[in-house]
Every structure is written in structure tokens, then in C-alpha cells.
Amino acid sequence: MARSRPLICCRSCGVKSKLGSTAYSALLGWWGFRWGILITPLQIVRNFGGMFTAPDPSQPSAKLETFSG
């Protein structure tokens, strides 16, 4: 099942995490019951999109401002 995991880290660590998640999805996501074959490519595109679109590094994101870890 596709899911998002919040991660508070530097940009470099975030990209490494997304690369790991993309590799995991590419290798194992296809085997998901029923919807894996449809959701996996979508999740891979989302991961790549997150790696190549960066928010303004001088401002905290809205999610970080509301985080109550």
C-alpha cells in the first residue's frame, strides 16, 4: 500500500531516503495484492518528483511548522 512517511532531515538525507524508497518500490512494489502493478509506477514518479522539486531552503515548510513530534 502506498503511504507517506514524514521525515525531518537535511536535503541530502531526504534525497537518500527517497532513493531507498524508490528502489524498494521498484523491486518489491509490483507484488502488492491487486493494486501493486498500478500504484507502484505512480509511487516511483512521486518519489522522483520529491527529489527534484525543492522548497525554499530558507523557509520551514508548512508540515514542519505544524509537526508536533
| More reliable by pLDDT, 55 or 19 | 19
Residues 6 or more apart whose CB falls under 8 angstroms from that of 25 comprise 40, 43, 44, 47
CA atoms lying within 13 Å on the CB side of residue 42: 9
**pLDDT value of position 2:** 55
pLDDT digits (tens, 9 = 90+) for 6-40: 778 888 888 888 888 889 888 888 777 777 888 88
